[in-house]
Amino acid sequence: MRMEDRNSLLERRETAQQALSAYRCRILVCAGTGCIASGSQVIAETMRKLCQDLPNVEVECCGHVPHIGIANTGCQGICELGPLVRIEPYHYQYVKVKPEDCAEIVEKTVCRGEPVERLFYESQNGKTCPKPEDIPFMAGQTRVVLEHCGNIDAVSLDEYIAVGGYDALSKALFDMTPDQVIQEVDRSGLRGRGGGGFPTGTKWKQVAAHTEAPVKYVVCNGDEGDPGAFMDGSVMEGDPYKLIEGLTIAGYAVGATEGYIYVRAEYPNSVSRLHYAIAQAEEAGLLGENILGSGVTFHLHVNRGAGAFVCGEGSALTASIEGNRGMPRTKPPRTVDHGLWEQPTVLNNVETYANVPNIVLRGADWFRTIGSDNSPGTKTFSITGSIANTGLIEVPMGTTLREIIYDIGGGIKGGGDFKAVQIGGPSGGCLTREHLDVGLDFDTVKKYDAIVGSGGLVVMDEHTCMVEVARFFMSFTQRESCGKCSPCRIGTKRMLEILERIVAGKGTLEDLDKLEEIAEFVRKNSLCGLGKSAPLPVISTLKRFRKEYEEHIVDHKCAAHVCEALKQYKVDPDKCIGCTKCARNCPVEAISGTVKQPHAIDPDKCIKCGTCLSGCPVGAIYVD
Amino acid sequence: MTNTIADVTRESDVILLVGSNPEEAHPVFGMQIRQALQRGAKLIVVDPRNIGLSKQAAVHLKLKPGTNVAFANGMMHVILEEGLEDRSFIESRTEGFEALRDLVKDYTPERVAEICHIDPEDLRTAARLYAKADRAPILYCLGVTEHSSGTEGVMSLSNLAMLVGKLGRPGCGVNPIRGQNNVQGACDMGASPTDFPGYQKVTNPEVRSKFEQAWGVSLPAEPGMFATDCFPAMLEGTIRGLFIFGEDPMRTDPDTNHVRRALSALDFLVVDELFLTETAKLADVVLPGISYAEKEGTFTNTERRVQRVRKAVPSPGNAKPDTWIFTELMNRMGYPQPHLTPAQIMEEISSLTPSYGGISHARLDSEELHGQGLQWPCPSPEHPGTPILHVGQFSRGRGLFAPYAYVPSMELPDESYPFLLMTGRILYHYNACAMTDKTPEIVEIAGGSFLELNDQDAARLGIADGDTIRVSSRRGTIETTARVSGKTSPGECWMPFHYLEGNCNWLTNAALDRIARAPEYKVCAIQITKA
Amino acid sequence: MSLLHVTIDGIPVEVEKGTTILEAAERVGVKIPTLCHIKGLMPDGSCRICTVEIQNRGRSKMDTACSAHCSEGDAILTRSEAVVKARRGILDMLLSNHPTNCFSCPSNGECKLQDLCYEYGVKETSCPGEMSNRPVDDSNPFFTYDPNLCILCHRCVNTCHKIVGCGAIDTMERGFESVISPAFGMPWRESNCESCGNCVAACPTGALTSKRKQNYRPWQVEKKVLTTCPHCAVGCQYYLMVKDNKVVGVEAADGPSNHNTLCVKGRYGSYDFIHSNGRLTDPLIKDRSTGEFRKASWEEALDLVASKFQAIKREYGNGALAGFACSRSTNEDIYMLQKMVRTCFGNHNTDNCARV
């Protein structure tokens, strides 16, 4: 089982490829968290049972007997359309598959190679898309990090090897010195995908330079905590070996023998698949002592977070691994000098490490052909909110918002108007219509008071109140503030209080000035990056939607009709027939009027319960 | 201590802690050991109980009480077997190595494991850890000394340190953590039947003549009697008059019944005290002395560091400085002793005690020292003091290996008294609590005596945690509260020695260390019944 | 190693690489306020009050002096307009969640928050809002924790973890709800707290206060006398706080063996006995027939002792007397006692309680 040299890897690849091609048919069921939630595991089980009943074939049995494979793949990103089932070698992509569809799929496609057309995706312009790449959502992407997601069994080491996995590691170990690996990563211009965009090569060089350290660490930040972000989770559960390979290369490059993957508590699939994959890789001699007989050692451990957003911050994350309360510390010393257990530590996020095997294998020059000059490569984004196709995408850095929202995302859900997008999570900022043609990369987005962050995109339309958005994110950051430094702990609380006043219609214009003042104070004086960026949603919405704030304060109006306290129930006197039903049903006697005369609602008494609105026989009551 | 607290906690790689629970008995030292562990130093705990620090220890050797000599010999056996000894140190700085080698040859880990009730592999691990460390101090306390083989235990630990050359260097040494605040000073000051101040032997004619000249009297050539030997002498009628200054043997000495009989047999007992202690109650005359807050003077801590004690408040009523009392008595007994201030007394001390030769109140108070005190030996006013002893050379020249064979404790459990009792300190009190029990909050937290009983034993005896139990030895019976846990090994119990009610010293054995005459507080046989 | 050249408020200073701005400022006597900082530990950086302005190569940035290292050519401003504004902002924030009824606070007059607000002219908060309202933990007999007066500077936590090594307390909850607490929110008394009170001494406000402080206000302490703790042989240095000729408290000193720390006995158990009613105030002579003591004059008592001892000596010889010294007393006392035994008893029957 254990591979003792480079050659064994090549032999194993050949065997694995032969095995793959020997399948008569393969059923690839998406086992991303999204598809699992929509029932893909039931589909997989049903498929297995149905196939087992087929005459003259075996399920999952290699050899000379005709056999069918059923595999759980990583997330393909179009979670909106799950459960997804793909049948190879015909390359048919079925969407929204239900258990009752399985028999037909087996009968037609598995047995006869015929499509089940009704299960193909139909695009907005009515075009049928039999193959995955026909789907516009997929067509607009460049998949490097997510290249294997959807195409191979996520936890099968052999399938990973069959598609070229561990080629990069063996190249690094046998053809390159650690220094050459770092040079390659440095030359590729790869920047940290966790949000900061710090050059990865520089970081690795700094850690490699600590030749005096008795032990060094490679740490992977998989504590993806931004609301609506699931890029890293998809890599960890969808292509665990790629991440492990990337981490192992990093360990070799900087001279670390121990690695940790810190996975957020809410990703049980990632944790179990990583554990499984690590055990497989160790057994195969691709991890642990003397990897592929090279004499290089690298051990990898998985740590589960405990649900604290702040543990996504580097020093809080290492504190948490050490068993302490996850709280950021001041720098210097930097993590590269004094990281985990005070030893030099490389800390990158999942997506960064997942880029490494391709950079090592295909070279820095190839990598630089993708993306923009200062931000080469691709970036994964999770697009959520008021968008037609929610899901996970990967595009070259520098792709414009317009391409992402309209070409890939299919535009605004329900055909409404695009208003803004929150980028970079709760501590990011918002971009608006005027930024639609801005190419998204680290440096450009920064110019507009936002950050690429880890890549969460929350799309908002006209039905979104920007004050409420700011309040929502502020309540998140306040709740998730570690409580260490006073600007963040108290400042976010005071900002939240002001925002709560404004959405309740109780704000003043002085509040706006105070809000701006505190936001600026928190940004400048907080201890860690999370605190410094916590006010960004407030700062950017105040900058771009100040009018909305003022409307809330001066006119007591929420144009998006979101803020409950500002909704005004009114009676249209032209429509009202004076039936008195509303007055009788009103629990607080806020409605008055005489029979057959138009009624009126006293806004001071009204508690906005909506009873009158739903009960009016002629639709005379409306919300202003 | 051969080294300082800061040195053994900040410079060490491994700490070998034997028979000492510094977190409770010397808490501020304990804090610094905990800091050392946070820094990454490794800890070896050698203690019959699960003390707080054993949780953080790399190895915990839960020895059977009274087997320290066997443990130390076993460590040395492993070190020699694996060639981990410091050859050049042994050759250049010691003598008697062959005798040691011959003795420890028989102490194989397996044999030691049987004597000490430990795992032989743990002993090997501990020996390697200690021997291979660059800097490793031995810290020990009453768990080593309060045995009939106490001195032998200390010598064996010294052998161990010399064997691996861990003496006379920073972060090393053999370091007794002394008990009371000024127990080091009391020994330094010649409150000893064999030594004048500064460990100058009374049997040495030159020394004697120096003191005869200084004091203007002739002094006997033969040593006096150890305090622990005085009690039997009182019963025999050899000692008839006794002056006790600030001690409460009725509470602190072993076998209280025996102490009571001895003190009651005296013709005349005088006690100089702050309180009417159990001992003072037996006195013919009680003289009111004054507390540390009412006098000037010095204490010498466990690091041999002489530090100042300063007067903060006036003394109550007609209480008088103790030196005044002694001076008055001396004059009344025909010795012309002028009244001296504490500073003047220190001048006399330094003039007669070479190791204190450079110590004076003026110097201790000076800017030069920044309140850092002076560590003896400090032979001259220019000398900076000596933080680390035995640097380059031992006081006798070459360090002599003094090998000792293991000898079991004097009183071991038997059928009638099936449990072994150890005694010790807890965090909240000091010794007989004469001082600590005046603080009501301390009494609230740690008010009463208890006995730690192993949970398996407790189950067998039908005793639950918190039960009142009757504990007897051949010498006495007390009632106390059972604390049931796995802290002690089966068959072994532990009690604090602070409390008047349920005082363990009604039980303890007055068997003495064959050399230093310290009582075997740490081992006696008892029986336990539910009260 | 080459030195870095920086200026602090215009005063040039040369420092080694790795020197923090706070350390550099201390060297030239420029005082930078701190709340959370504990010398010798890694900077906590939570209070932000030591924020300074750093100008270098035409750029200006703000950073905390406790954590920021000096760089070549830094011009550090500790009282610039931006610095004062930032510090006022921090105090403003802290004060928005801190009661200002200082008259009833045990730390009134020795509260660092109070001092800094006074120095920076912050009289009240500009952003009032919800204030913490948590129950006071009164369970420890020696001290009280009032979370509503706590500014979360973590000095207590860092002291407990990194200096005491006990780890009884830590921050619990998150965001505005953050609070210092023993594990699982259990009462202080039930935790593994050793009552050493070093956290209390570290607290800059009235959040952790010694209950004994009810007996005196800080300004009533007439003198602080540096002395040595009378319990164990570590020899901790501390100050006895004296009010009306009575010791009312103890404050740790930076002694060579204790470095500003104390244990529960030293801090709380080393002075009540001095003023105990049980103290002996007069010589007592026992009537052998009744066994009762009676008060006597020094003359009578000393004469009696001397004559009795002389008589025993005469009758039974020099060896019949002995004198034990106390290893709790001073060197000077002990020296005189053994001198008395050797010169007047005429033997070496003297010993101390080293063995017991």
Taking each helix axis as running N to C, give the angle between helix A536-550 and helix A466-480, from 0 to 180 degrees, rounded to the nearest 10: 150
The strand pair at B297-300 and B305-309 is best described as antiparallel
Interface test with C, best of A478, A479, A484 (most C CBs within 10 A): A484
pLDDT at B122: 96
Residues C196 and C232 in one domain: no
pLDDT at A126: 86
Whether residue C137 lies inside any domain: the answer is yes
- Per the structure block, which two tokens stand in for A453? 């962050």
Residues A323 and A175 in one domain: yes
Residue range A364-387: average pLDDT? Answer: 95
C66:A332 CB<8 A: no
pLDDT at B396: 83
Backbone torsions φ then ψ of C331, nearest 5 degrees: -55, -40
In order of B349, C318, C338, C339, the CA distances from C345 in angstroms are 20, 6, 10, 9
* CATH label of the domain that carries residue A115: 3.40.30.10
CA atoms within 13 A on the CB side of C183: 10
Q: Which residue has the tokens 């008010």?
A: B447
Percent of chain A scoring above 70 in pLDDT: 99
3-state secondary structure C1-39: CCCEEEEECCEEEEECCCCEHHHHHHHCCCCCCCCCCCC
CA–CA dist B473, B411 (Å, integer) = 10
CB C90 within 8 A of CB C47: yes
Backbone torsions φ then ψ of B304, nearest 5 degrees: 65, 25
Residue range C266-292: average pLDDT? Answer: 93
Amino acid letter for position C125: T
Question: Is the CB of residue C210 less than 8 Å away from at least one CB of chain B?
Answer: no
Q: What does the pLDDT look like over C111-159, one tens digit per residue? A: 999 999 999 999 999 999 999 999 999 999 999 999 999 999 999 999 9
C233:B211 CB<8 A: no
C44:A521 CB<8 A: no
C348:B224 CB<8 A: yes
Residues of chain C with Cβ-Cβ distance to B330 below 8 Å are: 339-340, 343-344
Burial label, A617 (beta-carbon count in 10 A; 0-12, 13-18, 19+):
exposed
| Domain extent at residue C136 | 94-215
> Whole-number mean pLDDT of chain A?
93
Question: To the nearest whole angstrom, how far is the Cα of A319 from the nearest Cα of chain C?
Answer: 13
Residues A384 and A351 in one domain: no
Chain A residues within 8 Å of chain C (Cβ atoms): 308, 310, 325, 327, 329-332, 478-487, 489-494, 497, 514, 518, 521, 524-527
CA–CA dist A582, A434 (Å, integer) = 45
pLDDT at A429: 87
Burial label, C223 (beta-carbon count in 10 A; 0-12, 13-18, 19+):
exposed
Q: Could you name the CATH architecture of B183-375?
A: 3-Layer(aba) Sandwich (3.40)
Residue in B closest to C355 by C-alpha: B518
Whether residue A144 lies inside any domain: the answer is no
Residue among B116, B112, B48 at smallest CA distance from B78: B112
Whether residue A596 lies inside any domain: the answer is yes
Interface test with C, best of B4, B23, B37, B189 (most C CBs within 10 A): B189
Q: Which three-class secondary structure state does DSSP give residue B199?
A: helix
DSSP label at residue C298: H
Sign of the CA dihedral with B42 first, then B47, B50, and B53 last: negative
The pTM score is 0.91
pLDDT at C355: 61
Question: Is the CB of residue C283 less than 8 Å away from at least one CB of chain B?
Answer: yes
* CATH label of the domain that carries residue C244: 2.20.25.90
Residue among A425, A418, A383, A422 at smallest CA distance from A404: A383
- Chain A / chain C CB contacts < 8 angstroms: 103
Residues A200 and A342 in one domain: yes
pLDDT exceeds cutoff 90 at A453: no
Residue C263 CA, distance from chain mean position: 10
CB A365 within 8 A of CB A371: no
Q: Which of C215, C232, C266 is the last residue of a domain?
A: C215
Residues C152 and C210 in one domain: yes
CA–CA dist C344, C338 (Å, integer) = 10
CA–CA dist A623, B124 (Å, integer) = 83
Q: How many CB atoms lie within 10 A of CB A270?
A: 27
Residues of chain C with Cβ-Cβ distance to A524 below 8 Å are: 62, 86
pLDDT at C1: 62
Residues of chain C with Cβ-Cβ distance to B360 below 8 Å are: none
CA–CA dist A416, A294 (Å, integer) = 58
Number of domains comprising chain C: 4
Q: H or E stretch including A545?
A: helix A536-550
Q: How many CB atoms lie within 10 A of CB C131?
A: 12
CB A427 within 8 A of CB A451: yes
Residues of chain B with Cβ-Cβ distance to C287 below 8 Å are: none
Give me the tens of pLDDT residue by residue for chain B, a chain 531 residues long: 999 999 999 999 999 999 999 999 999 999 999 999 998 999 999 999 999 999 999 999 999 998 999 999 999 999 999 999 999 999 999 999 999 999 999 999 999 999 999 999 999 999 999 999 999 999 999 888 888 888 889 999 999 999 999 999 999 999 999 988 999 999 999 999 999 999 999 999 999 999 999 999 999 999 999 888 899 999 999 999 999 999 898 888 888 888 999 999 999 999 999 999 999 999 999 999 999 999 999 999 999 999 999 999 999 999 999 999 999 999 999 999 999 999 999 999 999 999 999 999 999 999 988 899 999 999 999 999 999 998 888 888 888 999 999 988 888 899 999 999 998 888 998 887 788 888 889 888 888 899 999 999 999 999 999 999 999 999 889 999 999 999 999 999 999 988 888 888 888 887 878 777 778 888 889 999 998
Start and end residues for every CATH 3.40.50.740 domain found in chain B: 183-375
CB C107 within 8 A of CB C74: no
| Domain extent at residue A268 | 157-368
> Whole-number mean pLDDT of chain C?
94
Q: H or E stretch including B454?
A: strand B450-454
Whether residue A295 lies inside any domain: the answer is yes
CA–CA dist C41, C38 (Å, integer) = 6
pLDDT exceeds cutoff 70 at C349: yes
Whether residue A142 lies inside any domain: the answer is no
Residues A523 and A423 in one domain: no
* ipTM at complex level: 0.93
Q: Which of C215, C231, C247 is the last residue of a domain?
A: C215
Residues C117 and C207 in one domain: yes
Residue A346 makes CB contacts below 8 A (sequence gap 6+) with: A203, A204, A207, A216, A217, A218, A219, A250, A254, A256, A336, A339
Q: What does the pLDDT look like over A272-291, one tens digit per residue? A: 999 999 999 999 999 999 99
Residues A132 and A82 in one domain: yes
Q: What does the pLDDT look like over A37-66, one tens digit per residue? A: 999 999 999 999 999 888 878 887 556 677
* CATH label of the domain that carries residue A532: 1.20.1440.230
CA–CA dist B416, B225 (Å, integer) = 34
- Per the structure block, which two tokens stand in for C295? 């008060």
Residues C101 and C196 in one domain: yes
Residue C37 makes CB contacts below 8 A (sequence gap 6+) with: C22, C43, C44, C47, C50, C66
pLDDT at A227: 80
Residue among B370, B394, B375, B372 at smallest CA distance from B385: B375
Residues A106 and A11 in one domain: yes
Residues A319 and A186 in one domain: yes
Number of domains comprising chain A: 5
Name the H helices within B247-384: 249-252, 256-264, 322-332, 342-352, 361-364
* CATH superfamily, with its number, for domain B5-177: Dimethylsulfoxide Reductase, domain 2 (3.40.228.10)
Residue B24 makes CB contacts below 8 A (sequence gap 6+) with: B30, B51, B52, B424, B425, B426, B427
B27:C196 CB<8 A: yes
Residues of chain B with Cβ-Cβ distance to C323 below 8 Å are: 242-245
- Chain B / chain C CB contacts < 8 angstroms: 487
A525:C175 CB<8 A: no
CA atoms within 13 A on the CB side of C271: 25
* Predicted confidence band of residue A125 (pLDDT cuts 50, 70, 90): confident
Q: Which three-class secondary structure state does DSSP give residue B408?
A: coil
Residue B415 makes CB contacts below 8 A (sequence gap 6+) with: none
pLDDT at B146: 85
Residues of chain A with Cβ-Cβ distance to C51 below 8 Å are: 525
Backbone torsions φ then ψ of C64, nearest 5 degrees: -85, 130
Backbone torsions φ then ψ of A394, nearest 5 degrees: -135, 125
Residues A227 and A341 in one domain: yes
Q: What does the pLDDT look like over B382-435, one tens digit per residue? A: 999 999 998 888 888 888 999 999 988 888 899 999 999 998 888 998 887 788
C171:A327 CB<8 A: yes
Residues A518 and A573 in one domain: no
Residues A342 and A416 in one domain: no
The C-alpha angle with vertex B519 and arms to B514 and B520, in degrees rounded to 5, equals 90
Residues of chain B with Cβ-Cβ distance to C303 below 8 Å are: 332
pLDDT exceeds cutoff 80 at C250: yes
CB C187 within 8 A of CB C78: no
A485:C48 CB<8 A: yes
Q: Which of C250, C275, C300 is the last residue of a domain?
A: C275
Whether residue A561 lies inside any domain: the answer is no
Q: Which subunits count as partners of chain B given 3+ CB pairs below 8 Å?
A: C
Residues A229 and A349 in one domain: yes
Question: To the nearest whole angstrom, how far is the Cα of A204 from the nearest Cα of chain C?
Answer: 22
Whether residue A594 lies inside any domain: the answer is yes
Residues C121 and C162 in one domain: yes
Question: To the nearest whole angstrom, how far is the Cα of C335 from the nearest Cα of chain A?
Answer: 51
Amino acid letter for position C124: E
C152:A521 CB<8 A: no
C174:A325 CB<8 A: no
Residue in C closest to A478 by C-alpha: C175
Residue C122 makes CB contacts below 8 A (sequence gap 6+) with: C88, C91, C92, C95, C116
Whether residue A599 lies inside any domain: the answer is yes
Backbone torsions φ then ψ of B480, nearest 5 degrees: -155, -175
Residues of chain C with Cβ-Cβ distance to B372 below 8 Å are: 256
Whether residue C62 lies inside any domain: the answer is yes
Amino acid letter for position B177: I
Whether residue C88 lies inside any domain: the answer is no
- Per the structure block, which two tokens stand in for B509? 């054995």
Q: What does the pLDDT look like over A510-551, one tens digit per residue? A: 999 999 999 999 999 999 989 999 999 999 999 999 999 999
Whether residue C89 lies inside any domain: the answer is no
Whether residue C208 lies inside any domain: the answer is yes
Residues C204 and C225 in one domain: no
Residues of chain A with Cβ-Cβ distance to C184 below 8 Å are: none
Q: H or E stretch including C332?
A: helix C331-340
CA–CA dist C295, B379 (Å, integer) = 46
Start and end residues for every CATH 2.40.40.20 domain found in chain B: 419-530
Q: What does the pLDDT look like over A397-451, one tens digit per residue? A: 999 999 999 999 999 998 889 999 999 888 788 999 999 999 999 999 989 888 8
CA–CA dist C336, C316 (Å, integer) = 24
Start and end residues for every CATH 3.40.228.10 domain found in chain B: 5-177
Q: What does the pLDDT look like over A63-120, one tens digit per residue? A: 667 788 999 999 999 988 989 999 999 999 999 999 999 999 999 999 999 999 999 9
pLDDT at B145: 86
pLDDT at A424: 86
B519:C355 CB<8 A: yes
Question: Is the CB of residue C41 less than 8 Å away from at least one CB of chain B?
Answer: no
Residue in B closest to C335 by C-alpha: B189
Residues C299 and C342 in one domain: yes
Backbone torsions φ then ψ of C107, nearest 5 degrees: -95, 5
* CATH label of the domain that carries residue C27: 3.10.20.740
Residues C147 and C167 in one domain: yes
Q: Which residue has the tokens 């149905």?
A: A50
Residues A446 and A489 in one domain: no
Q: H or E stretch including B206?
A: helix B205-215
Residues C165 and C239 in one domain: no
Residues C21 and C48 in one domain: yes
CA–CA dist A442, A519 (Å, integer) = 23
Whether residue C85 lies inside any domain: the answer is no
Which runs of E-coded beta strand occur in A200-287? 217-222, 258-263
Question: To the nearest whole angstrom, how far is the Cα of A478 from the nearest Cα of chain C?
Answer: 5
Question: Is the CB of residue C177 less than 8 Å away from at least one CB of chain A?
Answer: yes
Q: Which three-class secondary structure state does DSSP give residue A113?
A: coil
Q: Domain B419-530 - what CATH class?
A: mainly beta
Whether residue C61 lies inside any domain: the answer is yes
